Structure 1
Amino acid sequence: MPFRNDSLNWGVMAKAFHWSVATLIFVQLALGWLSVAWPLTPTKLYLFIWHKSLGIVILLLVVMRLIWRLFNPRPQFPVTMPRWERVAAETVHGLLYAVLIILPISGWFLNSAAGVPFRVFGWMRLPALLAPSRPLTGIMIGIHILLGWVLISLLVIHILAVVRHHWLKRDV
């Protein structure tokens, strides 16, 4: 398997970025839900620390993946794929990248507005992006949750397209 992408296949690096981020997204969704639902105990604090820290890791991996993609264009779509499917695929991928960048940043804004000091995995302190503000905290909670649902919706579309093309049509 080639390290870099070619005109027909994703390379090892692109696949590593994809599956690392995909795995972390599902861990994040579980941690996000658990950290909100968990009773107020020290465990809740650890769940939030892991959720926030993995959010920053995802942000960094997505930025690295986008940089990698600048130098490794994606494989071509199958010639049999209709134009509308190509446009849909590019749109969903673009929106996934956008949400995967904006969502962790919204969490960072939320954390800042809440006035909570933040250290990635307890060691690297991230600066506050906003002054503490209770009204802004409420707004940021809403934005962060909404973006989480947008991400879930895009993932469902992406997964359905994968099933359609890899297993039903077998054209990729």
Structure 2
Amino acid sequence: MKAGQAHFSLPARFFHWLMAPLVVAMLFIGVGMVATVSRLHLTLIAIHRPLGIAILVLVVVRVIVRITHRPPPLPSDMPGWQRCLAHGSHGLFYLLLFAMPLIGWSMLSAGGFPVHMFAGLDLPPIVPQSPRLYAFLRGAHTWLAMLLFVTFLGHLAAAMFHGLIRRDGVFSSMARGQRRTNSAVEPVVDRRG
């Protein structure tokens, strides 16, 4: 990324806005799975499992994009505690988006449940079957899902604060890219006098 660039790269913005609705959907599907015992429960599980694996793959790609395309700097007048909170919450977000699908996959493996992606494709177990491990991972998955939801709400609140109150360019750096200027077009010069 060029020095002084004020916007995230196109790949960073693409993966951010691709993953945002997937993560929101995953959170609501998870709540729906816990809250219902109807036929809808099995449908939600059938969506939840492959969506979790898709998020895992996307977060790995997103981390690679983050490493290869540096983000724009935060505003210079931003207080130090807000900078620490911004960096810490982003790190926590990436960690949770990586850990949640792995814990879910491990939980299902420990419970002896297959992870169906789609017809004919099941993922292999990644931990041995163990009722005790299953119970632990189920609890961890639940608590980390709540932490992910709180982190998401904090991220959304910070985005709104920067976009609506501070108007310091932090929100627009992810919301849209830099506008291109056509340097090949010559400026109009008034030659009348």
The TM-score, its normalising length taken from structure 2, stands at 0.81
8 Å CA contact 1:113–1:130 kept in 2: the answer is: yes
| Number of aligned residue pairs | 168
Q: SS state of the match for residue 73, structure 2?
A: coil
Match of 2:25 in 1: 27
Runs of 4+ aligned structure 1 residues displaced above 6 Å come to none
The RMSD of aligned alpha carbons is: 1.6
Equivalent residues in 2 for 1:79-118, closer than 5 Å: 79-118=76-115
Letter in 2 for 1:23: P
Point out the more displaced range, 67-76 or 78-87: 78-87
Output one character per residue of 1:46-65: Cα deviation in whole Å (capped at 9) or x when no partner.
21121011001011111101
- The gaps in structure 2 that reach 5 residues or longer are 170-193
8 Å CA contact 2:9–2:71 kept in 1: the answer is: no
Equivalent residues in 2 for 1:53-132, closer than 5 Å: 53-132=50-129
Counterpart CA distance in 2 for 1:18 and 1:137 is 32
Match of 1:11 in 2: 9
Q: Percent identity?
A: 34
Match of 1:50 in 2: 47
Q: SS state of the match for residue 171, structure 1?
A: coil
Output one character per residue of 1:71-94: Cα deviation in whole Å (capped at 9) or x when no partner.
100011111112221111001000
8 Å CA contact 1:50–1:121 kept in 2: the answer is: no
8 Å CA contact 2:111–2:130 kept in 1: the answer is: yes
Superposition deviation, residue 123 in structure 1 = 3.8
8 Å CA contact 1:103–1:144 kept in 2: the answer is: yes
Superposition deviation, residue 40 in structure 1 = 4.9
The TM-score, its normalising length taken from structure 1, stands at 0.91
Q: SS state of the match for residue 120, structure 1?
A: strand
Larger radius of gyration: 2
Q: SS state of the match for residue 122, structure 2?
A: strand
- The gaps in structure 1 that reach 5 residues or longer are none
Counterpart CA distance in 2 for 1:162 and 1:123 is 41
Q: SS state of the match for residue 75, structure 1?
A: coil
Counterpart CA distance in 1 for 2:99 and 2:68 is 23
Letter in 2 for 1:144: H
Superposition deviation, residue 154 in structure 1 = 0.8
Letter in 2 for 1:79: S
Point out the more displaced range, 48-57 or 112-121: 112-121
Counterpart CA distance in 2 for 1:131 and 1:15 is 38
Output one character per residue of 1:102-155: Cα deviation in whole Å (capped at 9) or x when no partner.
011000011101101112133432110122222222111100000001101111
Superposition deviation, residue 166 in structure 1 = 1.1
Counterpart CA distance in 2 for 1:17 and 1:147 is 22
